[in-house]
Amino acid sequence: MEISDAMHQSDDLVANLRFGGSSVRELASGVDALYLSGRGILGPDLLVRLQDLRGFADEFKAWIPFNLGGKRFELAPHGWGKYRYCLANEMGRIGITTSNQLPTVRIQPKAELLHAVGPHAAVCIFEDLVSAEILELRLSVSRVDLFVDLKGWDLVVADADRFVARASSRRTYEEDEHFTGFEFGSRKTGGLTARIYDKTIDVELKGSDWWHDIWGEAHEQGARVLRVEFEFGRQILKEFQLSEPGDVLAATGDLWRYATEDWLSFRSPTSDQTRSRWPVAEEWQVVERAPLRSRAIGVARVRHAAAAGTLRQIIPGLNGYLVSFASAVGTTDVHEALRRLEPHLEAYERSSETPFADRVARRQIGRGT
């Protein structure tokens, strides 16, 4: 046997532990959320533009185009939490404040960006944008979510007692009387929380079909994908003496080991009355070995799959509305219905004083109209 063949077989043994006639396999793992904050000095030009355009946004109760670091954002007519200025575009959201009691800037890259270009590149993109406007900027991580997606684990609600957790609180979730997962810990403390849930239901509800590209050919259409996800808040990162984005991303392996070996585990029952002495279940061994290698699939693929997911969600409703419109105007032909719909849309555009193009732009950055 060639050495390379032996190595591949060894990898398969790690990734595919068999139990009860089924197989557990890792489909993807890595960083799924990254929240940044930073202190710096607001450039005088930036502060003037924020104040002036926020005044327009408030007056017209509308989002106003805003240039930040050479990229187009839109400034909201409201804040983001305690941050007075909220900017958003297709890459994510930025909050800015003049308060000395808070970090100057708060940044939340979209999950689509993290998986399109990778977490390191996403940090660089936002750091370059913001540092062009905020002097002496130093970013830190306020939250990072690590995950692994698995196929072949038939987790059920009765398995709740097989988890051994340091968390004092746990919750069970259902969707239409169908078990969807567990949650351990409390997010309010800024510590560590865990979520184990049916990611396929989440993808279906949100229309984020680009996950199928990340899972690749190993995923079978219609098959359940179970996600194990850990959220590390600022407090737990502080305990690990982690703050700067580069340090946090370099330490994901250590964070994952702590979460899956010390903080939470899934056990195989024995006659021992102490659950912590039960052996670690084979399913959880796959979780422990997750490589956390975020796979950047490219912006174009994410956008294409996201568009397909959106169409999948809206076509049934759109068809229903068009049928109602066709009935109201007295036609059964789809082309005639669409032709006669156009002047009604133009009239609505004039009466609402909101150009159709502006509505599209706002929808594209995920804010609605």
pLDDT at 74: 94
Least confident of 165-169, 263-267, 328-332, 356-360: 356-360
**Domain boundaries defined on the chain:** 3-33+144-288, 34-141, 311-364
Q: How far apart are CA 361 and CA 65, in angstroms?
A: 10
Give the tens place of pLDDT for each residue, 334-343.
Answer: 888 788 888 8
Token digits of residue 325: 């419109």
pLDDT at 253 over 50: yes
Q: What is the pLDDT of residue 364?
A: 57
Average pLDDT over residues 317-330: 75
Residue 361 has pLDDT above 70, yes or no: no
Checking if the pLDDT of 179 tops 90, the result is no
Residue 308 has pLDDT above 60, yes or no: no
The percentage of the chain sitting over the pLDDT mark of 70, rounded to a whole number, equals 83
pLDDT value at residue 208: 74
Structure confidence at residue 245 (pLDDT): 96
Does residue 77 have a pLDDT over 80?
yes
Q: pLDDT: is 351 or 79 the higher one?
A: 79
Give pLDDT, residue 327: 80
Looking at every residue in the chain, the average pLDDT score rounds to: 84
Q: Binning pLDDT at 50, 70 and 90, where does residue 205 land?
A: confident
* The most confident of 274-283, 328-337, 341-350, by mean pLDDT: 274-283
Quote the pTM value.
0.78
Q: Rounded CA gap, 100 and 56, in Å?
A: 25
Across the range 318-329, mean pLDDT stands at 74
Higher confidence at residue 33 or residue 23? 33
Structure tokens at 190: 């800024």
Using CA atoms, how far apart are residues 230 and 144, in angstroms rounded to an integer? 8
More confident residue, 76 or 293: 76
For the residues 135-155, what does the mean pLDDT come to? 96
